[in-house]
Amino acid sequence: MLNKINLITPAKIRQEHGEYKIQAVVITINGETETLETDAFITLFG
């Protein structure tokens, strides 16, 4: 198992997908929408 963190900023969260746990997120970065598969998602506000 490879542990990896992708820090993406600035971006807007559009959707979260998953049943019983998070499996993917849809985000918008610079006007482009992208779906990212994930098993964890941390939002930082500030």
Q: pLDDT digit string (tens) for 1-40?
A: 677 888 888 899 999 999 999 999 999 999 999 999 998 8
- What one-character DSSP code corresponds to residue 19? S
8 Å CB contact between 46 and 32:
no
**Residue 34: per-residue pLDDT:** 96
Q: Give the pair of three-digit tokens for residue 4.
A: 């990896």
pTM value is 0.77
Interior angle at CA 19, CA 25 and CA 27, nearest 5: 10
- 27, β-bridge pairs: 13, 34
Interior angle at CA 21, CA 27 and CA 29, nearest 5: 5
Domain ranges of the chain: 1-31
8 Å CB contact between 25 and 37:
no
